[in-house]
Homo-oligomer: A and B are copies of this chain.
Amino acid sequence: MDADMSAWQKAAQAKRQAILQAIPPKWRVQQQNLPVDVTGTYIRGFLNPREIEITEADAVLITTQTASGKWSAVEVTEAFCHRAAIAHQLVNCLHEFFFEDALGVAKELDDHLAATGKPKGPLHGLPVSLKDQFHIKGVDTTMGYVGWIGTFQGQKDDPRARVAESELVRELRDLGAVLFCKTSVPLTLMAGETANNIIGYTWNPHNRQLSSGGSSGGEGALLALRGSPAGFGTDIGGSVRIPAAFNGVFGLRPSAGRMPYEGAANSIDGQNTLLSVIGPMATSVGSLKLLFKAVLSQKPWLYDPLALPLPWRYDIEKETQKLIEASARDPSVLAFGIVHHDGVVRPHPPVKEAMIFIKHILKDKGHKVMDWDPQLCKEGQEIADKAYAMDGGEDLLSHMTLSGEPQPPQSFIGKSKHLSAREVAALNVQKRQYMKKYMDYWNSTSDLKATGKPVDAIICPTAPYAAVIPGKFRHAGYTTFINTLDYTSAVIPITSADKGIHRVESPPQFLSEVDQKVYAEYNAEIYDGAPVGIQLIGRRYEEEKILTLAEYITECIKLYSGEGLVQLAA
């Protein structure tokens, strides 16, 4: 180590090296002359055909194979561990890697299947990655804070350190999942790019000049490289959706209380104006459904005091499937709202085109489509921003103070006014009134459909940019207003930026200062190859409907874009 380094720098460097050292020498790779795009062909070059076959299967196929014993859990786990180890060396996406523990669990699962003839649960033998907010026995939870290394959430000598497990972890084990790594997050979690003083910057695998998004950026990057078939992130302002969109994978932000947050680390814990939620991320929409249903089968409401007793509602899933079937005969029974922009920042050309593309698909299919009023977005964004900053940044800064580490430029922490309880209450009232306004607007669309029912879902950009240029993530508003509304939102990959198509356009009438800045930062060359994902948004607690509609929309997109989507997700 460099003698001139400060204590926090030494601690960060040691942790960084420990992550690399957890990778066995046989899986180390040279990191020279990396191409811009390290997905697909490039990463396959490190793997044998069997490993490629396994790791390019989605969670639905994998669990079919492991449940029947066609693939052993050990073989599957080893293949993903190998690919994840390479992925980390290409884009810095891991905080923890514990493949030996994982192989031990996989061995037990194989033994269980051999002994009983039955899989342990619906996720039998499925490797599952987790964002570094979940506590897993045997490894750290740093959440990117240097001051958390070797502690329990920054508390030294706490017996829970490296011992306690989060409720979701307990449930995943019972479901038969194999945990094998924890993925990188930005310091404080409050950022749309993933960077911290331990692992540095998590790059976008599709274009290593770009960001993997945040805050579940490591999760998104790992999935894009197929270093994991499925995982869980968290989302208080877009942290599942932005990295899903930026990495060309699928993600779900459910409404608060469906997935168990109990026993996970968090930023600004106890801020309950706008709750962070856990959501699955995966390489197929079917995998999102598999994971979400599996967790609900564990009845998290009996173990997490904030979880709601809402099991997977098969009746709503079936109703939605029937609606889709009915729409084959009469397409007008399905209706969608399209948000072209949020009234604050216009999307870059690749995102704008994606919205035109999806609108074209839906209209061509014969569905009812209406342009959604953007006027209501801004207030939702402002409420979210006030909620994040209600303690004046005190909690976030306190964790940085533990080690004295500096703030990376991508973080959002600014000193702001610390609200009083009465001001918090006023914000809660404003939020409720905002939700009511939005609800009334949604209800008012019932005259669009012959059925007299309001639109089924709205479709909206996930961000004004495709996977963003580092340091340029200026506007999270496309996702944050959904957190204010506590709506369900699934991200679906739709296309990617193409320098041959998505040229710089002539300046529009700007909506705001940040609109002007964002406009100026589009660069067709640099953005080339950056994925674009769209949000499919439902009302509160409409996960069954939205995931089922997302399956349908994904099929539609495939029909219209040929092999485009397959390339993205591979």
Contacts and interface: CB of A to CB of B under 8 A. Distances in A.
A394 B390 CA distance: 19
Interface residues of A, number: 41
A499 to B, nearest CB: 43
Contact of A439 (B302, B391, B541): B302
Contacts of A187: none
A269 B418 contact: no
A425 B275 CA distance: 12
Contacts of A270: 424-429, 432
Contacts of A104: none
Interface string A529-570: 000000000001100000000000000000000000000000
Interface string A418-442: 1111111111110010011011000
Contact of A309 (B262, B273, B426, B540): B540
Contacts of A429: 269-270
B308 A432 contact: no
B420 A418 contact: yes
A436 B261 CA distance: 12
A305 B435 contact: yes
Interface in A399-455: 418-429, 432, 435-436, 438-439, 443
Contacts of A392: 421
A541 B305 contact: no
A301 B302 CA distance: 23
Contacts of A426: 270
Nearest to A417: B421
A563 to B, nearest CB: 39
Given A273-B272, A301-B540, A425 B306 contact: no
Contact of A269 (B425, B443, B540): B425
A421 B423 contact: yes
A308 B308 contact: yes
A310 interface: yes
A420 B422 contact: no
Interface string A359-401: 0000000000000000000000000000000111011000000
B271 A432 contact: no
Nearest to A454: B302
B272 A421 contact: no
A308 B541 contact: yes
Interface string A247-272: 00000000000000010000011111
A266 to B, nearest CB: 10
A303 interface: yes
Given A394-B422, A422-B394, A436 B305 contact: yes
Contacts of A391: 420-422, 425
A477 to B, nearest CB: 20
B420 A395 contact: no
Contacts of A268: 425
A102 to B, nearest CB: 28
A421 B272 CA distance: 10
Please provide the 7 A-B residue pairs with the shortest distance between their CB atoms, ordered closest to farther.
Answer: A270-B425, A305-B435, A270-B428, A270-B429, A390-B421, A391-B422, A419-B421
Interface of A: 262, 268-273, 301-306, 308-310, 390-392, 394-395, 418-429, 432, 435-436, 438-439, 443, 540-541
13 contacts: A262-B432, A262-B436, A270-B432, A272-B272, A272-B428, A301-B541, A302-B439, A303-B443, A308-B540, A419-B421, A420-B420, A420-B421, A421-B424
Given A305-B432, A421-B423, 14 more contacts: A262-B436, A270-B426, A270-B432, A272-B273, A272-B428, A304-B436, A305-B438, A306-B435, A308-B308, A391-B420, A391-B425, A394-B422, A395-B425, A420-B420
